[in-house]
Structure 1
């Protein structure tokens, strides 16, 4: 009974995360405007998700414990690109991409960097 309940909870969490940002993305597309959305707050959220995901991968946790984070990251990236597009700052997308990808690889250079990043994000 308990494993079935845990599986149901795991898959329902993933299902909810799969559609979590869809209403926000749809609203931005319908309005063709990113007014009221903050690039900074979305960047902070995305940074937190990336650091947590890298931490989970670095320490070898099972995929089921963090499966929702890649889904949330993908939705955040899509929303991030729409915000940059509708605010006319698409040229900054390359800078953000280099920063996030570079940060992703920098986190795993040393164990203390990973641990420090988790302390600062939480």
Structure 2
């Protein structure tokens, strides 16, 4: 198969999956009206990583198809954040979070060294978000409100982005980030499935 065709398929399949990536998690929360097993800190760190990553890509004029899904993911994360705050009874804090994120986004592009430094920390920030979710799962031992489908799709999109990064920009910082995110997303997915299997016999008793 022609490499350009594979690249187009990888880009558009990633975009398509990301358009609905958070929907399963959103629907699970709306149905359960509970955030047990879902980490607010993980979501905030993930949102920070997304904002830094898309800002870096836009700052250096990278091809839009290589990052077009991130504004969509940010929008879905904002919906998730509002749902979590709502079910936790702390929706008023959403204004504080909005001010912090908008102010931080503006700060990123003030100087070139700031966006470069932020990008160098982006992998650490995004990895921390996965570890925060893992820690929440280990502590609660309950994955009932965590969508395995969302984490599975997240793993898929990171795998496709490894390929598109190699074939387009070749940016090593971006490549290392996607490799790390693939492994960590897979770890979270397996943990969710583990606790789901562990809880199944109890539900049948």
TM above 0.5: yes
Which ranges in structure 1 are unaligned for 5 or more consecutive residues? none
Q: Equivalent residue for 1:120?
A: 121
TM-score, with normalisation over the residues of structure 1? 0.95
Q: Which residue of 2 aligns with 1:73?
A: 74
Q: C-alpha separation between the residues in 2 aligned to 1:87 and 1:12?
A: 34
| 1:82-121 matched pairs, under 5 angstroms | 82-121=83-122
CA shift digits 1:23-68 (9 cap, x unpaired): 1100000011222212111000000000000001111111111011
| RMSD, aligned CA | 1.0
Report how far residue 4 of structure 1 moved: 2.0
Pair member with larger Rg: 2
The correspondence of residues 1-122 of structure 1 with structure 2, limited to 5 A, is 1-122=2-123
Moved over 3 A (4+): none
Higher helix share: 2
Normalised by the length of structure 2, the TM-score is 0.58
Aligned pairs, how many? 122
Task: Provide structure 2 residue ranges, at least 5 long, that are not aligned to the other structure.
Answer: 124-205
